[in-house]
Structure 1
Amino acid sequence: MLRAFIGLIALVLGGQAGAQTPEWRLQTYDDGAYFSGAISVTSDRDVKLLCGERSARGLSGEQVGNMEPDITRRDSLRLHLGEGVLGAYDGVTQQRQDVLLVVGATGYRLPVVQRNELYSSWEADLPATDAVFAAIAAQPEFEIRSSTGSRTVTARGFQTAHGALTGHCQTMFTAIGKPWSSVPAAAAPVVSMRDVAQASIRSGCGGPARMEPTALHSGDIDGDGLEDVVVYWNGITCSAGYPRPFCGASSCSAEFFVSSLHARGVQPKELLTQGVRMQPLSNGNMGVVTIGTAPTCQRRANCEFTWYWNGRALALLQ
């Protein structure tokens, strides 16, 4: 009944490329086995900057059918360049050192660029804080040159997209115990627990869901000034598949999305309950009241349990 941690899923900044002005945008992905974050130009998929690693949810690649993920080193971003940029593969060369990023009047030669047979592309790993990224952000465009030709690429939106990418990568690597040292923690954006909770619902349902007012309960549980959210699956009906996947005959699953725990990469607390409500506490924080089933009540006068933040974790108020 209880589910594993649901990380950040499918945040897509911007809309469709269509007739819009080409610009760099962020896309993120997490299938439970691996996560990734990538930025690219809306009209040019031949140039992409990304990071990726194991998902904090801990599923195996076999479970989700993902056997060829992008795995990058901590503190680095991977530059993917398609054949549309570097020319068709000659069937022999696996490495090359002829690729130059020209920004303004300055050229930045890439390290060894490796052939990626899976994606029919080339790739090179660069430090997340490489000087070339700051240089690109300060110009309207840059050029990719090699012995096989050149491509001019817009830098519109690059600064914002690169900042969002490094912030996302920092957050996701921290969640698996590999925080980036080259990107200050302050650079990571504040993560909305409501967004995380809603992403968890979409993932649990395998698509959209109808939510009653009882589905989300919010308040500052840990006293950090940020909204925390409790998802109660009794108020959720999935549009696809089984409509009530996390409910039994008398109880449903509740998930506690607490910002302090999420920042440390701790999985949300989950339990079965017959009800959820928020309860103001004397210390100014919000407590969470859950209603147990008869076997869990033991000698209690009622079957209500109050959970509170003890400074490090959620604890049961005795």
Structure 2
Amino acid sequence: MAMAIGQAIWAAAMSMLALVGAASAQDWSMSQFDDGSYFSATLAPIDGPGPALVCGERSPRGLSPAATGNLEPDITPVGAFRLYLSDRAIGAPAPQRMIRDDVLIVAGGSGYRLRGLRWNAAFSTWQIDLPATDPSFAAIAAAQEFELRYDGGVRRLSSAGFAAGVGGLSTYCQTMFASIGKPWPATQALPPARQTMRQLAEAGIRQSCGGAAHWTPEAILPAQIDGDGAEDIVVDWHGVTCTTGVPRPNCGAANCLVEVYISALYPRVGAPESTLALGVRLQPLTNGNDALAFAGSLGSCTRTVGQTRCETLSYWNGAALVPLR
């Protein structure tokens, strides 16, 4: 039996997406399809592995699928894109694992977990339906490149052409859905990408200083504290000097402020966790996250011969930083 038209088109697209190449050579391109029975549009990289965004429904021309042979079309929800990921990009399913939660899109320092990726055996690909306003799309559009992180590794992709491509995809999909009496919600503009923790930390330093500041490389530590794939930031004010006003506004005789910008708290809380300490370092944990080792004086811990200070370990418990006992 000949392969259905929709499946043949998708197989060709997946062959293109499965090519392994450098991120710098990658662009994004949108294609449209309407055989009279179903329409679809696809935004995908021209070269290299990566996700493909698709929308589709019955064609306004109203032809029978039996007449066109299109028996496996893409039919997507109103106001959503279907994201496809080739098995060659992130691996085929393990036995009895038809749904997975390990894949992250990381762009601009923020991570977006694809919870509930489902295996499509007909197309040999993973898929999930996402709102057209999903913040991951805005983050990809605003970045020069982004990453796909999964249990088997990391794939880096270029964002060149994505912003224009996703805009064109959204316009086409809205127009076609409206033509068959299924208009998308009125607010379909992509939201702005949220600030990264590094941007927030640097802005927080300048705000505390009342102007410009400079800092040592050790003063701003990139970390993975909450395990969401987005970069968290630890600011140790021992290494920060304000250019104007008080040079070290957040330091006393020995202790300085340590601020922890955790992506899981933004924008719900919107403020860093903070404490006073003699210093801070990152301590890797067995789960792949980082704990924070805050240095304190001997008065805060059990005295040991030859010891001049001690450390208190704190880790993220899913809601807050708590001492590691």
TM-score (norm 2): 0.49
Pair 1:137 & 2:141 matched: yes
Task: Give the root-mean-square deviation of aligned CA atoms.
Answer: 2.3
Q: Give 1:65-144 correspondences, 5 Å limit.
A: 65-144=69-148
Structure 2 partner of 1:39: 43
Larger gyration radius, structure 1 or structure 2: 2
Give the SS at the match of 2:176.
helix
- Cα deviation for residue 149 of structure 1 reads 1.9
Alignment of 1:201-220 (within 5 A): none
After superposition, the C-alpha distances for 1:122-178 in whole angstroms (9 at most, x for unaligned) are 011111011111111110111011112221111001000000000000000001000
1:54 aligns with 2:58: yes
For the Cα contact (< 8 Å) 2:39–2:59, is it kept in 1?
yes
- Which residue in 2 is equivalent to 1:298? none
1:222-248 Cα distance to aligned partner (Å, 9 max, x none): xxxxxxxxxxxxxxxxxxxxxxxxxxx
1:159 to 158, 163, 166: 163
SS at match of 1:44: coil
> Does the 8 A contact of 1:144 with 1:150 survive in 2?
yes
Match of 1:284 in 2: none
Question: How far, CA to CA, are the matches of 1:45 and 1:56 in structure 2?
Answer: 33
For residues 71-92 of structure 1, give each alpha carbon's deviation from its aligned partner in whole angstroms, at most 9, with x where no partner exists: 1000000110001221133343
From the superposition, tell whether residues 102 and 184 of structure 1 become closer, same or farther in structure 2 (CA, over 3 Å).
closer
Paired positions, count: 169
AA matched with 1:155 = S
State the TM-score, normalized to the length of structure 1. Answer: 0.50
Gaps of 5+ in 1: 1-15, 186-318
- Any conservation in 2 of the 1:46–1:83 contact (CA below 8 Å)? no
Query: In 2 relative to 1, CA 138–117 (structure 1 residues): closer, same or farther, beyond 3 Å?
Result: same
Match of residue 24, structure 1, among 23, 28, 40: 28
SS of residue matched to 1:132: helix
TM-fit CA distance, 1:98: 1.1
Q: Does the 8 Å CA contact 1:170/1:183 hold for their aligned counterparts?
A: no
Distance 2:186 2:90 in 1: 30
Q: Equivalents in 1 of 2:145, 2:67: separation in Å? A: 42
Range moving further from structure 2, 38-47 or 123-132? 38-47
Q: Which stretch has the larger CA shift, 42-51 or 21-30? A: 42-51
- Does the 8 A contact of 1:85 with 1:150 survive in 2? no
Q: Is the 8 A contact 1:46 1:84 kept in 2?
A: no
SS of residue in 2 equivalent to 1:28: strand
Query: What's the offset of the Cα at 1:47?
Result: 2.0
Alignment CA distance shift 1:45-1:65 (3 Å): farther
For residues 186 and 157 of structure 2, what CA distance do their matches in structure 1 show?
26
Task: Give CA-to-partner distance per residue, 1:260-297, whole Å, 9 cap, x none.
Answer: xxxxxxxxxxxxxxxxxxxxxxxxxxxxxxxxxxxxxx
TM-aligned CA distance change 1:70 to 1:41, over 3 Å: same
Following the alignment from structure 1 to structure 2, what is the Cα–Cα distance between the partners of residues 63 and 55?
A: 13
Mapped partners of 1:83, 1:25: distance in 2: 21
- The change in CA–CA distance for 1:27 and 1:183 in structure 2 (over 3 A counts) is farther
Q: In the TM superposition, what whole-angstrom CA distance separates every residue of 1:9-66 from its partner, at most 9, and x where no partner exists?
A: xxxxxxx99xx94211110000111100110110036521110111011112111001
- 1: distance between equivalents of 2:49 and 2:74? 16
Matches within 5 A, 1:147-186: 147-183=151-187
How far the C-alpha of 1:104 sits from its partner, in A, is 2.2
Residues 76 and 58 (structure 1), Cα distance of their counterparts in 2 relative to 1, 3 Å cut: same
State the AA in 2 paired with 1:70: D
Contact 1:23 1:42 in 2 (8 A): yes
Q: Which moved further from structure 2: 162-171 or 138-147?
A: 138-147
| Structure 2 match to 1:286 | none
**In 2: Cα distance, 1:79 partner to 1:123 partner:** 5
**Aligned mates of 2:126, 2:100 — CA distance in 1:** 9
User: How far apart, in 1, do the equivalents of 2:184 and 2:177 lie?
Assistant: 7
Paired residue secondary structure (2:51): strand
